Structure 1
């Protein structure tokens, strides 16, 4: 019984950590959107990423710097996945 309780506690702690990371990404994204008026919606990294994804998929719709930043945050902190065109779209969808 105590092993089960310990396992349950570890699972709860992991879920809380994922939720905290998601909130962190929300905060980072909100800061980026506020600063976007000054810095603009795109930069060299975003342009290069969009260019590369457009080469792989002709139907690619450009994403903004803040969308790329949010997707990168979600992929690294929440999903522990790599930054690819498909993963970015999936992260932004939900």
Structure 2
């Protein structure tokens, strides 16, 4: 498990690239561990991560269509979680659902 080093993101020279504003950190599921997310929260970083959760709470009734093509539809559902103060975005692609069902 790789934890960010204290100097990697907080170094003054590194931060000068961002005009003293902290960047939004984007992580894929491979490094979006609980420890890494907690570190980002503790150090007041905004972040966007691909969730490692296996259980998805997609609500088709509250989802909105974000893209439509002749072959597929993509919908998104936004959920605010009070306990973690996080906003979760769930996406559903009819094309991906077909692929998953055929496996």
Give the TM interval when normalised to the shorter protein: under 0.3
Decide which structure has greater helix share: 1
Decide which structure has greater strand share: 2
Using the size of structure 1 for normalisation, the TM-score is: 0.28
- Bigger RCO (CA 8 Å, 6+ sep): 1
